[in-house]
Structure 1
Amino acid sequence: MQLWNDYFSEDATYPSHMFRRHFRMNKPLFMRIVDRLSAEISYFQQRRDATGRFGNSPLQKATTAIRMMAYGFPADAVDEYLRLGETTVLLCLEHFVQGIINLFGDEYLRRPTPEDLQRLLDIGEIRGFPGMIGSIDCMHWEWKNCPTAWKGQYTRGSGKPTIILEVVASQDLWIWHAFFEPPSRAPKVNYIVNGHEYNLAYYLIDGIYPKWATFVQSISLPKGPKVSLFATQQEAVQDERDGYTQYDLYVFAQPESNRSSQVDSTFFTDMPLNLGNMMSIRNRVRDRRIHQQLKDDLVENIWQKFEMNQDFN
Protein backbone atom coordinates (compact mmCIF):
# COMPACT_ATOMS: atom_id res chain seq x y z
CA MET A 1 0.00 0.00 0.00
CA GLN A 2 2.85 2.40 0.75
CA LEU A 3 4.44 1.69 -2.65
CA TRP A 4 1.09 2.21 -4.37
CA ASN A 5 0.38 5.47 -2.57
CA ASP A 6 3.88 6.79 -3.17
CA TYR A 7 4.03 6.21 -6.93
CA PHE A 8 0.97 4.63 -8.57
CA SER A 9 -2.24 6.10 -7.09
CA GLU A 10 -4.03 9.01 -8.77
CA ASP A 11 -2.74 11.44 -6.14
CA ALA A 12 0.67 9.81 -5.71
CA THR A 13 3.08 11.30 -3.19
CA TYR A 14 5.85 11.56 -5.79
CA PRO A 15 5.03 13.29 -9.11
CA SER A 16 6.10 12.02 -12.52
CA HIS A 17 9.50 13.72 -12.57
CA MET A 18 10.36 12.12 -9.22
CA PHE A 19 9.20 8.74 -10.52
CA ARG A 20 11.55 9.21 -13.47
CA ARG A 21 14.40 10.03 -11.11
CA HIS A 22 13.82 7.09 -8.75
CA PHE A 23 13.05 4.42 -11.37
CA ARG A 24 15.38 5.71 -14.14
CA MET A 25 12.46 5.57 -16.60
CA ASN A 26 9.07 7.22 -17.00
CA LYS A 27 5.95 5.66 -15.49
CA PRO A 28 4.23 4.56 -18.77
CA LEU A 29 7.35 2.63 -19.78
CA PHE A 30 7.61 1.00 -16.35
CA MET A 31 3.93 0.00 -16.43
CA ARG A 32 4.35 -1.44 -19.91
CA ILE A 33 7.12 -3.68 -18.56
CA VAL A 34 5.10 -4.69 -15.48
CA ASP A 35 2.00 -5.48 -17.57
CA ARG A 36 3.96 -7.73 -19.92
CA LEU A 37 5.75 -9.49 -17.06
CA SER A 38 2.56 -10.12 -15.08
CA ALA A 39 0.69 -11.32 -18.17
CA GLU A 40 3.34 -13.68 -19.57
CA ILE A 41 5.78 -14.60 -16.79
CA SER A 42 4.24 -16.81 -14.12
CA TYR A 43 6.61 -15.61 -11.38
CA PHE A 44 5.19 -12.08 -11.62
CA GLN A 45 1.55 -13.17 -11.42
CA GLN A 46 0.07 -12.47 -7.99
CA ARG A 47 -1.41 -15.53 -6.31
CA ARG A 48 -3.02 -16.46 -3.01
CA ASP A 49 -1.17 -18.69 -0.59
CA ALA A 50 -2.62 -21.69 1.29
CA THR A 51 -4.42 -19.37 3.72
CA GLY A 52 -6.03 -17.35 0.92
CA ARG A 53 -3.80 -14.33 1.46
CA PHE A 54 -2.40 -12.54 -1.59
CA GLY A 55 1.32 -12.87 -2.18
CA ASN A 56 3.70 -10.16 -3.39
CA SER A 57 2.39 -7.97 -6.21
CA PRO A 58 4.01 -7.54 -9.64
CA LEU A 59 4.72 -3.90 -8.72
CA GLN A 60 6.68 -5.00 -5.64
CA LYS A 61 8.75 -7.50 -7.58
CA ALA A 62 9.48 -5.25 -10.56
CA THR A 63 10.30 -2.28 -8.32
CA THR A 64 12.69 -4.45 -6.33
CA ALA A 65 14.62 -5.43 -9.46
CA ILE A 66 14.71 -1.87 -10.80
CA ARG A 67 15.91 -0.43 -7.49
CA MET A 68 18.74 -2.93 -7.25
CA MET A 69 19.92 -2.14 -10.77
CA ALA A 70 19.31 1.61 -10.63
CA TYR A 71 21.05 2.20 -7.32
CA GLY A 72 23.35 -0.80 -7.06
CA PHE A 73 21.60 -1.93 -3.87
CA PRO A 74 22.47 -5.27 -2.24
CA ALA A 75 19.62 -7.74 -1.89
CA ASP A 76 18.95 -6.95 1.78
CA ALA A 77 18.77 -3.15 1.30
CA VAL A 78 15.16 -2.95 0.02
CA ASP A 79 13.39 -5.09 2.62
CA GLU A 80 12.36 -2.20 4.89
CA TYR A 81 10.41 -0.44 2.14
CA LEU A 82 9.28 -3.25 -0.15
CA ARG A 83 8.83 -5.96 2.53
CA LEU A 84 10.74 -8.65 0.67
CA GLY A 85 13.39 -10.93 2.11
CA GLU A 86 16.88 -11.29 0.63
CA THR A 87 16.20 -14.63 -1.07
CA THR A 88 12.99 -13.33 -2.66
CA VAL A 89 14.76 -10.17 -3.82
CA LEU A 90 17.41 -12.17 -5.63
CA LEU A 91 14.70 -14.27 -7.28
CA CYS A 92 12.91 -11.09 -8.35
CA LEU A 93 16.07 -9.80 -10.01
CA GLU A 94 16.80 -13.12 -11.72
CA HIS A 95 13.27 -13.52 -13.11
CA PHE A 96 13.08 -9.84 -14.08
CA VAL A 97 16.27 -9.98 -16.15
CA GLN A 98 15.28 -13.24 -17.82
CA GLY A 99 11.79 -11.91 -18.47
CA ILE A 100 13.10 -8.77 -20.13
CA ILE A 101 15.32 -10.85 -22.40
CA ASN A 102 12.47 -13.19 -23.36
CA LEU A 103 9.77 -10.54 -23.84
CA PHE A 104 11.70 -7.57 -25.20
CA GLY A 105 14.87 -9.10 -26.61
CA ASP A 106 13.77 -9.15 -30.24
CA GLU A 107 12.82 -5.47 -30.08
CA TYR A 108 15.60 -3.99 -27.97
CA LEU A 109 18.52 -6.43 -27.66
CA ARG A 110 19.66 -6.25 -31.28
CA ARG A 111 22.15 -4.52 -33.50
CA PRO A 112 21.06 -1.24 -35.12
CA THR A 113 19.92 -1.50 -38.74
CA PRO A 114 20.95 1.08 -41.36
CA GLU A 115 17.54 2.71 -40.78
CA ASP A 116 18.23 2.90 -37.03
CA LEU A 117 21.64 4.42 -37.69
CA GLN A 118 20.15 7.05 -40.00
CA ARG A 119 17.68 8.08 -37.28
CA LEU A 120 20.56 8.35 -34.79
CA LEU A 121 22.51 10.45 -37.28
CA ASP A 122 19.50 12.74 -37.79
CA ILE A 123 19.08 13.21 -34.04
CA GLY A 124 22.78 13.90 -33.62
CA GLU A 125 22.72 16.42 -36.43
CA ILE A 126 19.89 18.51 -34.99
CA ARG A 127 21.86 18.73 -31.75
CA GLY A 128 24.95 20.00 -33.52
CA PHE A 129 26.80 16.65 -33.74
CA PRO A 130 26.67 15.35 -37.34
CA GLY A 131 28.03 11.81 -37.51
CA MET A 132 27.34 11.07 -33.82
CA ILE A 133 25.52 7.79 -33.08
CA GLY A 134 25.47 7.70 -29.27
CA SER A 135 27.38 7.91 -26.02
CA ILE A 136 29.80 5.20 -24.97
CA ASP A 137 30.98 4.21 -21.51
CA CYS A 138 32.62 1.17 -19.98
CA MET A 139 33.47 -0.44 -16.69
CA HIS A 140 35.90 -3.16 -15.65
CA TRP A 141 34.24 -6.29 -14.24
CA GLU A 142 36.56 -8.37 -12.04
CA TRP A 143 37.20 -11.83 -13.50
CA LYS A 144 37.51 -13.90 -10.36
CA ASN A 145 38.16 -17.22 -12.10
CA CYS A 146 40.43 -15.92 -14.86
CA PRO A 147 42.87 -18.67 -15.99
CA THR A 148 46.35 -18.07 -14.65
CA ALA A 149 47.88 -18.05 -18.14
CA TRP A 150 45.58 -15.19 -19.20
CA LYS A 151 45.90 -12.96 -16.12
CA GLY A 152 48.67 -10.81 -17.59
CA GLN A 153 46.69 -9.65 -20.63
CA TYR A 154 43.52 -9.00 -18.62
CA THR A 155 45.14 -7.19 -15.67
CA ARG A 156 45.17 -3.40 -15.66
CA GLY A 157 45.64 -0.69 -13.05
CA SER A 158 43.68 -2.48 -10.31
CA GLY A 159 46.12 -5.38 -10.21
CA LYS A 160 43.30 -7.87 -10.75
CA PRO A 161 42.13 -9.42 -14.05
CA THR A 162 39.03 -7.70 -15.41
CA ILE A 163 36.73 -7.92 -18.43
CA ILE A 164 35.44 -4.73 -20.03
CA LEU A 165 31.69 -4.16 -20.04
CA GLU A 166 31.12 -1.54 -22.72
CA VAL A 167 27.78 0.12 -23.45
CA VAL A 168 26.60 2.48 -26.19
CA ALA A 169 23.37 4.40 -25.60
CA SER A 170 21.51 6.88 -27.78
CA GLN A 171 20.01 10.08 -26.42
CA ASP A 172 16.69 8.32 -25.71
CA LEU A 173 18.56 5.84 -23.48
CA TRP A 174 18.23 2.93 -25.92
CA ILE A 175 21.14 0.56 -25.29
CA TRP A 176 22.53 -0.28 -28.72
CA HIS A 177 25.68 -2.17 -27.87
CA ALA A 178 26.84 -4.07 -24.84
CA PHE A 179 29.33 -6.91 -24.67
CA PHE A 180 32.18 -8.59 -22.83
CA GLU A 181 34.99 -8.64 -25.42
CA PRO A 182 37.48 -6.36 -27.20
CA PRO A 183 35.80 -3.16 -28.48
CA SER A 184 34.43 -3.15 -32.03
CA ARG A 185 34.77 -0.50 -34.69
CA ALA A 186 32.38 2.31 -35.54
CA PRO A 187 30.05 1.92 -38.55
CA LYS A 188 30.93 3.78 -41.72
CA VAL A 189 28.90 6.90 -42.51
CA ASN A 190 29.42 10.06 -44.55
CA TYR A 191 28.93 13.54 -43.09
CA ILE A 192 30.21 17.10 -43.34
CA VAL A 193 31.08 19.36 -40.40
CA ASN A 194 32.20 22.94 -40.89
CA GLY A 195 33.06 22.24 -44.54
CA HIS A 196 35.16 19.12 -43.82
CA GLU A 197 34.08 15.64 -44.92
CA TYR A 198 34.30 12.61 -42.59
CA ASN A 199 33.40 8.94 -43.05
CA LEU A 200 33.56 7.31 -39.60
CA ALA A 201 30.77 7.66 -37.07
CA TYR A 202 31.80 8.69 -33.57
CA TYR A 203 30.65 8.38 -29.95
CA LEU A 204 30.50 10.99 -27.21
CA ILE A 205 32.72 9.96 -24.31
CA ASP A 206 34.26 11.08 -21.04
CA GLY A 207 37.91 11.82 -20.42
CA ILE A 208 39.16 8.26 -19.84
CA TYR A 209 39.07 7.29 -23.53
CA PRO A 210 41.96 7.84 -25.98
CA LYS A 211 41.95 10.68 -28.53
CA TRP A 212 40.76 8.63 -31.50
CA ALA A 213 38.81 9.74 -34.56
CA THR A 214 35.75 7.79 -33.40
CA PHE A 215 35.62 9.43 -29.94
CA VAL A 216 34.67 13.01 -29.07
CA GLN A 217 35.46 14.01 -25.51
CA SER A 218 34.14 16.93 -23.53
CA ILE A 219 36.39 19.83 -22.49
CA SER A 220 37.08 19.80 -18.76
CA LEU A 221 38.08 23.48 -18.41
CA PRO A 222 36.37 25.33 -21.27
CA LYS A 223 37.52 28.87 -22.00
CA GLY A 224 35.39 31.21 -24.07
CA PRO A 225 31.71 31.08 -25.08
CA LYS A 226 32.13 28.70 -28.04
CA VAL A 227 34.03 26.05 -26.11
CA SER A 228 31.75 26.41 -23.07
CA LEU A 229 28.68 25.87 -25.26
CA PHE A 230 30.27 22.78 -26.81
CA ALA A 231 31.06 21.30 -23.39
CA THR A 232 27.48 21.92 -22.22
CA GLN A 233 25.97 20.30 -25.32
CA GLN A 234 28.37 17.36 -25.27
CA GLU A 235 27.49 16.47 -21.68
CA ALA A 236 23.70 16.88 -22.05
CA VAL A 237 21.38 13.79 -22.04
CA GLN A 238 17.73 13.88 -23.07
CA ASP A 239 14.90 11.68 -21.77
CA GLU A 240 13.01 9.14 -23.92
CA ARG A 241 12.84 11.24 -27.09
CA ASP A 242 11.50 14.32 -25.31
CA GLY A 243 12.96 17.81 -25.25
CA TYR A 244 13.02 18.80 -28.92
CA THR A 245 12.95 22.54 -29.60
CA GLN A 246 10.94 24.20 -32.37
CA TYR A 247 14.17 24.59 -34.30
CA ASP A 248 14.88 20.86 -33.94
CA LEU A 249 11.44 20.03 -35.30
CA TYR A 250 12.01 22.43 -38.17
CA VAL A 251 15.25 20.62 -39.07
CA PHE A 252 13.53 17.22 -38.82
CA ALA A 253 10.96 18.42 -41.34
CA GLN A 254 13.56 19.23 -44.01
CA PRO A 255 13.91 16.96 -47.09
CA GLU A 256 16.28 14.01 -46.79
CA SER A 257 18.42 15.49 -49.55
CA ASN A 258 19.41 18.30 -47.17
CA ARG A 259 20.99 15.91 -44.66
CA SER A 260 24.71 16.24 -44.16
CA SER A 261 24.89 12.82 -42.41
CA GLN A 262 24.18 9.63 -44.34
CA VAL A 263 24.74 5.95 -43.61
CA ASP A 264 27.26 4.57 -46.09
CA SER A 265 25.59 2.36 -48.71
CA THR A 266 28.30 -0.25 -48.17
CA PHE A 267 27.45 -0.52 -44.45
CA PHE A 268 28.00 -3.99 -42.98
CA THR A 269 28.44 -5.38 -39.49
CA ASP A 270 31.12 -8.04 -40.01
CA MET A 271 34.79 -7.31 -39.50
CA PRO A 272 36.81 -7.24 -42.76
CA LEU A 273 38.66 -10.46 -43.46
CA ASN A 274 41.58 -8.83 -45.26
CA LEU A 275 44.39 -7.98 -42.83
CA GLY A 276 45.40 -4.92 -44.85
CA ASN A 277 41.86 -3.52 -44.66
CA MET A 278 41.73 -4.18 -40.92
CA MET A 279 44.99 -2.29 -40.37
CA SER A 280 43.82 0.59 -42.56
CA ILE A 281 40.61 0.94 -40.54
CA ARG A 282 42.56 0.66 -37.29
CA ASN A 283 44.90 3.48 -38.32
CA ARG A 284 42.00 5.76 -39.33
CA VAL A 285 40.18 5.09 -36.07
CA ARG A 286 43.29 5.97 -34.02
CA ASP A 287 44.18 9.12 -35.98
CA ARG A 288 44.68 11.86 -33.36
CA ARG A 289 44.88 14.57 -36.02
CA ILE A 290 41.38 13.75 -37.31
CA HIS A 291 40.18 13.58 -33.69
CA GLN A 292 41.30 17.15 -33.01
CA GLN A 293 40.07 18.48 -36.34
CA LEU A 294 36.64 16.92 -35.80
CA LYS A 295 36.44 18.37 -32.31
CA ASP A 296 37.35 21.86 -33.55
CA ASP A 297 34.79 21.59 -36.36
CA LEU A 298 32.08 20.50 -33.92
CA VAL A 299 32.81 23.45 -31.63
CA GLU A 300 32.28 25.79 -34.57
CA ASN A 301 29.23 23.88 -35.85
CA ILE A 302 27.45 23.98 -32.50
CA TRP A 303 28.13 27.69 -32.18
CA GLN A 304 26.66 28.31 -35.65
CA LYS A 305 23.62 26.21 -34.76
CA PHE A 306 23.18 28.19 -31.56
CA GLU A 307 23.22 31.47 -33.50
CA MET A 308 20.75 30.11 -36.06
CA ASN A 309 18.48 28.96 -33.25
CA GLN A 310 18.60 32.44 -31.73
CA ASP A 311 17.66 33.98 -35.08
CA PHE A 312 14.89 31.39 -35.61
CA ASN A 313 13.32 32.21 -32.24
Structure 2
Amino acid sequence: MIAAVRMLTYGCSVDILDEYVQIGESTAIESLKRFCDAVIEVFEKQYLRKPNKDDIARLLQEGDDRGFPGHHYNMGYYLSDGIYPQYATLIQTISQPSSIKEKIFAEHQEAARKDMERAFGVFQSRWQIVKGPARI
Protein backbone atom coordinates (compact mmCIF):
# COMPACT_ATOMS: atom_id res chain seq x y z
CA MET A 1 0.00 0.00 0.00
CA ILE A 2 2.80 2.44 0.89
CA ALA A 3 4.61 1.66 -2.36
CA ALA A 4 1.49 2.23 -4.48
CA VAL A 5 0.58 5.52 -2.81
CA ARG A 6 4.18 6.81 -2.98
CA MET A 7 4.36 6.02 -6.69
CA LEU A 8 1.07 7.81 -7.33
CA THR A 9 1.74 10.77 -5.03
CA TYR A 10 5.35 11.54 -5.84
CA GLY A 11 5.61 9.94 -9.27
CA CYS A 12 8.73 8.11 -8.16
CA SER A 13 10.14 5.09 -9.90
CA VAL A 14 10.14 1.57 -8.54
CA ASP A 15 13.92 1.70 -7.95
CA ILE A 16 13.57 4.40 -5.31
CA LEU A 17 10.96 2.34 -3.46
CA ASP A 18 13.33 -0.58 -3.17
CA GLU A 19 15.43 1.28 -0.63
CA TYR A 20 12.60 3.17 1.12
CA VAL A 21 9.97 0.46 1.53
CA GLN A 22 12.31 -2.50 1.10
CA ILE A 23 10.25 -4.43 -1.42
CA GLY A 24 11.23 -5.73 -4.84
CA GLU A 25 10.39 -4.13 -8.15
CA SER A 26 7.89 -6.78 -9.21
CA THR A 27 6.12 -6.62 -5.85
CA ALA A 28 5.86 -2.81 -6.05
CA ILE A 29 4.42 -2.99 -9.56
CA GLU A 30 1.94 -5.67 -8.53
CA SER A 31 0.94 -3.58 -5.50
CA LEU A 32 0.30 -0.55 -7.70
CA LYS A 33 -1.83 -2.58 -10.11
CA ARG A 34 -3.87 -4.09 -7.28
CA PHE A 35 -4.31 -0.69 -5.61
CA CYS A 36 -5.55 0.88 -8.87
CA ASP A 37 -7.89 -2.05 -9.51
CA ALA A 38 -9.32 -1.69 -5.98
CA VAL A 39 -9.85 2.06 -6.38
CA ILE A 40 -11.61 1.51 -9.70
CA GLU A 41 -13.80 -1.23 -8.22
CA VAL A 42 -14.84 0.91 -5.25
CA PHE A 43 -15.41 4.23 -7.06
CA GLU A 44 -16.38 3.14 -10.57
CA LYS A 45 -20.14 3.35 -10.10
CA GLN A 46 -20.00 6.81 -8.55
CA TYR A 47 -17.21 8.62 -10.43
CA LEU A 48 -16.29 6.64 -13.54
CA ARG A 49 -19.67 6.69 -15.20
CA LYS A 50 -21.56 8.89 -17.62
CA PRO A 51 -23.51 11.67 -15.93
CA ASN A 52 -27.20 10.96 -15.41
CA LYS A 53 -30.12 13.41 -15.50
CA ASP A 54 -29.67 14.30 -11.82
CA ASP A 55 -25.98 15.11 -12.33
CA ILE A 56 -26.73 17.31 -15.33
CA ALA A 57 -29.54 19.10 -13.50
CA ARG A 58 -27.23 19.75 -10.53
CA LEU A 59 -24.48 21.10 -12.78
CA LEU A 60 -26.89 23.34 -14.67
CA GLN A 61 -28.28 24.65 -11.37
CA GLU A 62 -24.75 25.45 -10.15
CA GLY A 63 -24.15 27.31 -13.41
CA ASP A 64 -27.38 29.27 -13.04
CA ASP A 65 -26.48 30.14 -9.44
CA ARG A 66 -23.21 31.61 -10.71
CA GLY A 67 -24.97 33.54 -13.45
CA PHE A 68 -23.70 31.41 -16.33
CA PRO A 69 -26.20 31.47 -19.21
CA GLY A 70 -28.30 28.26 -19.32
CA HIS A 71 -28.57 27.84 -23.09
CA HIS A 72 -29.39 24.37 -24.34
CA TYR A 73 -26.99 22.92 -26.91
CA ASN A 74 -27.54 19.80 -28.96
CA MET A 75 -23.88 18.76 -28.63
CA GLY A 76 -21.13 18.97 -26.04
CA TYR A 77 -18.73 21.87 -26.08
CA TYR A 78 -15.50 22.86 -24.38
CA LEU A 79 -14.35 26.25 -23.18
CA SER A 80 -11.09 27.28 -24.79
CA ASP A 81 -8.84 30.30 -24.73
CA GLY A 82 -8.09 30.98 -28.40
CA ILE A 83 -5.21 28.55 -28.91
CA TYR A 84 -7.28 25.92 -30.71
CA PRO A 85 -8.65 25.88 -34.28
CA GLN A 86 -12.20 27.07 -34.86
CA TYR A 87 -14.46 24.06 -34.25
CA ALA A 88 -18.11 24.05 -33.27
CA THR A 89 -17.39 22.17 -30.04
CA LEU A 90 -14.76 24.69 -28.85
CA ILE A 91 -16.26 27.93 -27.59
CA GLN A 92 -13.59 30.62 -27.96
CA THR A 93 -13.46 33.47 -25.51
CA ILE A 94 -14.25 36.94 -26.80
CA SER A 95 -10.91 38.74 -26.67
CA GLN A 96 -12.32 42.27 -26.95
CA PRO A 97 -15.98 42.22 -25.98
CA SER A 98 -17.87 45.21 -27.27
CA SER A 99 -21.40 44.71 -25.96
CA ILE A 100 -22.58 44.11 -22.40
CA LYS A 101 -23.76 40.62 -23.39
CA GLU A 102 -20.30 39.74 -24.76
CA LYS A 103 -18.60 41.16 -21.65
CA ILE A 104 -20.80 39.08 -19.34
CA PHE A 105 -20.19 35.94 -21.43
CA ALA A 106 -16.43 36.51 -21.39
CA GLU A 107 -16.41 37.09 -17.61
CA HIS A 108 -18.42 33.94 -16.88
CA GLN A 109 -16.38 31.84 -19.28
CA GLU A 110 -13.14 33.08 -17.70
CA ALA A 111 -14.49 32.32 -14.20
CA ALA A 112 -15.45 28.78 -15.22
CA ARG A 113 -12.04 28.23 -16.83
CA LYS A 114 -10.25 29.51 -13.73
CA ASP A 115 -12.32 27.23 -11.50
CA MET A 116 -11.25 24.24 -13.60
CA GLU A 117 -7.61 25.36 -13.58
CA ARG A 118 -7.65 25.77 -9.79
CA ALA A 119 -9.26 22.38 -9.21
CA PHE A 120 -6.87 20.62 -11.58
CA GLY A 121 -3.93 22.57 -10.13
CA VAL A 122 -4.73 21.28 -6.64
CA PHE A 123 -5.03 17.79 -8.05
CA GLN A 124 -1.66 18.12 -9.81
CA SER A 125 0.07 19.55 -6.74
CA ARG A 126 -1.03 16.67 -4.55
CA TRP A 127 -0.60 13.84 -7.05
CA GLN A 128 2.63 14.21 -9.01
CA ILE A 129 1.77 11.37 -11.36
CA VAL A 130 -0.79 13.60 -13.08
CA LYS A 131 1.99 15.97 -14.22
CA GLY A 132 4.04 13.37 -16.06
CA PRO A 133 3.86 9.88 -17.48
CA ALA A 134 3.34 6.93 -15.19
CA ARG A 135 6.51 4.98 -14.47
CA ILE A 136 5.55 1.37 -14.01
- Structure 1-normalised TM-score? 0.28
* Within-5 A mapping of 1:98-117: 98-117=37-56
Larger radius of gyration: 1
Q: Is 2:93–2:109's contact at 8 Å kept on the other side of the alignment? A: yes
Q: 1:215 aligns with which of 90, 94, 98?
A: 90
Q: What is the letter of the counterpart of residue 88 of structure 2?
A: A
Q: 2:73 aligns with which of 177, 186, 199?
A: 199
What's the offset of the Cα at 1:112? 0.9
Distance 1:223 1:209, change over 3 A: closer
Measured on the aligned residues, the alpha-carbon RMSD in Å equals: 3.5
| Greater RCO (CA < 8 Å, at least 6 residues apart) | 2
What's the offset of the Cα at 1:207? 5.0
Residue equivalent to 1:129: 68
Q: Is 1:64–1:82's contact at 8 Å kept on the other side of the alignment? A: no
Q: What is the letter of the counterpart of residue 236 of structure 1?
A: D
Distance 1:106 1:81, change over 3 A: same
Distance 1:207 1:94, change over 3 A: farther
Percent identity at matched positions?
35
Q: 2:5 aligns with which of 63, 69, 89?
A: 63
Q: Distance in 1 between matches of 2:96 and 2:21?
A: 48
Q: Is 2:3–2:17's contact at 8 Å kept on the other side of the alignment? A: no
* Within-5 A mapping of 1:69-80: 71=11, 73-79=12-18
Distance 1:223 1:112, change over 3 A: same
Q: 2:114 aligns with which of 225, 235, 240?
A: 235
Q: What is the letter of the counterpart of residue 26 of structure 2?
A: T
Q: What is the letter of the counterpart of residue 55 of structure 2?
A: D
Say which structure is richer in strand.
1
Q: What is the letter of the counterpart of residue 126 of structure 1?
A: D
Structure 2: runs of 5 or more not aligned: 98-102, 120-136
Q: What is the letter of the counterpart of residue 216 of structure 1?
A: I
Deviations 1:261-308 (A, max 9, x none): xxxxxxxxxxxxxxxxxxxxxxxxxxxxxxxxxxxxxxxxxxxxxxxx
Q: Is 2:63–2:69's contact at 8 Å kept on the other side of the alignment? A: yes
How many residue pairs match? The answer is 110
* Within-5 A mapping of 1:132-143: none
